[in-house]
């Protein structure tokens, strides 16, 4: 995360945090929403420094260079980041949160689908798990209905900050206002103009192959991901 150029004058922690580089997917959650204990139900048990983290989020001051060099502050800051993310996931499915995300969507703040045949269709952020530190945020294309890695990797934006259901809830709420073009084009691989045996578009296409339907990571997939993450961490440590 780039912090050195992210300190802003005034506005409080939330505005400062959302204005940071690579945080363009996030919207500013109202203090009123954060202060309502009903909206925070079930979150306290997930954090060691819950009260301190919540106080930091609601602070009217922004961290300075001295704060960002303090180890104790950084521990609380990390928890505040994740706590805000989980609150954010709840806020963006409220009427006000959906409206704020709609403005970002229409402005192309989440990027465009990398699939050529989607013709730069705007995408929506999505998580592949409701659990923290499982997967970074991904983007969902409402035209081809596929999930992709965002063009800007957003390395410290967790997928849990948006949750698995956000795109579906968003599209159900704005189905009359946002017209999504039909996905009526598909790419067919060919060799010198001829379709390929048993491949897509061929009359002999293999239709027996089973395709798994995935809307979020299963427990088995989560175990594999955690194994890969642990291995990557070991490799990074050895390289250092």
In the chain the domains, ranked by start, together with CATH numbers, are 13-178 (2.20.25.20)
**What pLDDT score was predicted for residue 232?**
53
Six-digit token string for 236: 């990074």
**What pLDDT score was predicted for residue 207?**
60
**What pLDDT score was predicted for residue 162?**
98
**169 Cβ contact list (under 8 Å, min separation 6):** 93, 98
**47 Cβ contact list (under 8 Å, min separation 6):** 53, 79, 82, 83
Six-digit token string for 42: 């079930």
Task: Please state the rounded mean pLDDT for residues 184-188.
Answer: 88
End-to-end CA distance of the chain: 19
Q: What's the pLDDT tens digit per position in 101-120? A: 999 999 999 999 999 999 99
Angle between helices 71-91 and 50-57 (to 10 degrees): 70
For the cut 90, the answer to whether the pLDDT of residue 204 exceeds it is: no
Quick check: helix, strand or coil at residue 101? helix
Write down the mean pLDDT value for the chain.
86
């Amino acid at each position: 995360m780039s912090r050195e150029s992210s300190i802003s004058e005034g506005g409080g922690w939330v505005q400062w945090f959302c204005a940071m580089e690579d945080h363009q997917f996030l919207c500013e959650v109202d203090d009123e929403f954060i202060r309502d204990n009903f909206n925070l139900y079930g979150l306290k048990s997930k954090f060691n420094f819950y009260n301190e983290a919540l106080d930091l989020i609601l602070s009217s001051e922004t961290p300075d260079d001295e704060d960002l060099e303090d180890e104790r502050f950084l521990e609380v800051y990390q928890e505040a980041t994740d706590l805000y993310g989980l609150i954010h996931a709840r806020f963006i499915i409220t009427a006000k949160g959906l409206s704020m995300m709609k403005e970002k969507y229409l402005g192309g703040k989440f990027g465009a689908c990398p699939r050529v045949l989607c013709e730069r269709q705007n995408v929506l952020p999505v998580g592949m798990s409701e659990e923290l530190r499982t997967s970074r945020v991904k983007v969902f294309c409402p035209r081809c209905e596929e999930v992709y890695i965002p063009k800007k990797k957003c390395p410290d934006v967790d997928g849990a900050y948006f949750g698995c259901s956000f795109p579906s809830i968003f599209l159900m709420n704005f189905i009359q206002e946002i017209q999504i073009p039909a996905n009526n084009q598909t790419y067919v691989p060919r060799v010198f103009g001829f379709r390929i045996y048993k491949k897509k578009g061929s009359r002999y296409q293999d239709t027996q192959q089973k395709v798994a339907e995935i809307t979020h990571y299963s427990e088995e997939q989560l175990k594999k991901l955690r194994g890969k993450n642990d291995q990557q961490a070991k490799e990074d440590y050895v390289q250092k």
